Amino acid sequence: MLSDVEYEIVHQISGAKIKRNVEELCKIAPDRFVGTEGDKKAIEYVKARFEELGLEIRETPIHVPSWQETKPPVIRIMATGEELEGISASFAVSTPVGGLTADLVLVRDGKDQDYEGKDVSGKIVVLTEESLGFSKFWMGTYVDRAARNGAVGVILIHPMPWPYRISMEAGNSVIANRFCEKKVPAVCISGIEGLKLMHAIGRGDTKIHFETSNRIEPCDSIVISAFHQGTEFPEQRIAFVGHRDNANTPGANDNGTGTGTILELARVLSKTAPKRSFEFISSTAEEGVTEGIWQYIEAHKEELKRNMKAVLDTDMVGVGGVPIQVDMGYWPDAKPQQHPKWLLDMVDSVAEEMGYGFGRITCEWGYPEEGRFNAIGVPSTVLWQPDDPYYHSIYDTPDHLNPGSIKAVADTYAIVAWRLANK
């Protein structure tokens, strides 16, 4: 049963307020990929909100690659002049200025065997998804393979009616293995535009004009921490983390909801007097393989191992099915990670106590920021709705958010953290 203090905490937390936080963040900083102008505005916004609450702020500098699509891609079928809409993969390179003209070749799945007997030299390969999902997200190895076979560009057809932001990363956990060696421009187009492209290929109109314009450069940014001090063991603490960057798409769900949630938890929990401290972490450079939080952990590793009792990550909790926790997680270049059973069970039982219910998932394509804490032995979990159909698209807007689902996550985390802080 909830204690009086716990009941009051849950009573104070508002899903509607979290949604308003997200609306504000998306308005102030619609593009907040790490290192952009939007990132700076998002930093100001988050810091100002923490300062209003009188929380002590610490900044951890990070140095990571930034990326921006400076112009939308041009994909023009030469025979008809028809133009197709697409978006570049994050961290994708540009075509030469003025673009290039080349033939399309359908390579479908894009594995080694799919290139057998095909001449893609000087051509643009077209890849498809076999199912209605996000299976081709980490494009690094696919693009590397296309480039090694001599291709000059890659177009991925996504099954949804809108394109989504794929990534040029390899999908590895080790930061040194983040990118593949060979790169060519890569874009994603929707299923609808894909049908037009397939028609063109079928007719034999395979020549297209292709132009992409992106900027990749190293950048500096910060991970923001706000502290609410504990009364008895202030050096020991429980943290909440939410990444504030997006994928150069509005990012209301991914991860306005995480940012909005930590701001709301800070507002409510800063009025309480826990025995251990709370840390509210606004990370960035999550997009991709979570390099931002990795650098934060590298900077504070020994201290975190000593004093951080648990980390609760919130990533995409406003759209889709039931929020889930990652149970087993896999990266191709890391040991399988069993997430801490006691913490996952505690989250589930607190949720159940309040009449909520979450799920579990085995993650085979990498997992969010919580995994970086588990990797150094700091118990961590994530609540996540990975099945958002608008993921990394222009439709990831605040009007799709469900405040009820977000409140369930915030309530549960608040009580889990409160109990751990006072144990």
Nearer Cβ to Zn ion, position 124 or 409?
409
Q: Which is nearer to Zn ion, 193 or 254 (CB)?
A: 254
Residues that bind Zn ion (CB under 5 A): 254-255, 315
Helix H, strand E, coil C: the string for the chain is: CCCHHHHHHHHHCCHHHHHHHHHHHHHHCCCCCCCCHHHHHHHHHHHHHHHHCCCEEEEEEEEEEEEEEEEEEEEEECCCCCEECCEECECCCCCCCCCEEEEEEEEECCCHHHHCCCCCCCCEEEEECCCCCCCCCECHHHHHHHHHCCCCEEEEECCCCCCCCCECECCCCCHHHCECCCCCCEEEECHHHHHHHHHHHHHCCCEEEEEEEEEEEEEEEEEEEEEECCCCEEEEEEEEEEECCCCCCCCHHHHHHHHHHHHHHHHHHCCCCCCEEEEEEEECCCCCCCHHHHHHHHHHHHHHHHHEEEEEEEECCCCCCCCEEEEEECCCCCCCEECCHHHHHHHHHHHHHCCCCCEEEEECCCCCCHHHHHCCCCCEEEEECCCCCCCCCCCCCHHHCCHHHHHHHHHHHHHHHHHHHHC
Minimum CB distance to Zn ion, residue 277 (Å): 26
Please report how close the Cβ of residue 243 comes to Zn ion at its closest, in angstroms: 6
Cβ 320 to Zn ion shortest distance, Å: 12
Query: Nearer Cβ to Zn ion, position 31 or 315?
Result: 315
Nearer to Zn ion, 315 or 370 (CB): 315
Minimum distance from CB of 247 to Zn ion (Å)? 8
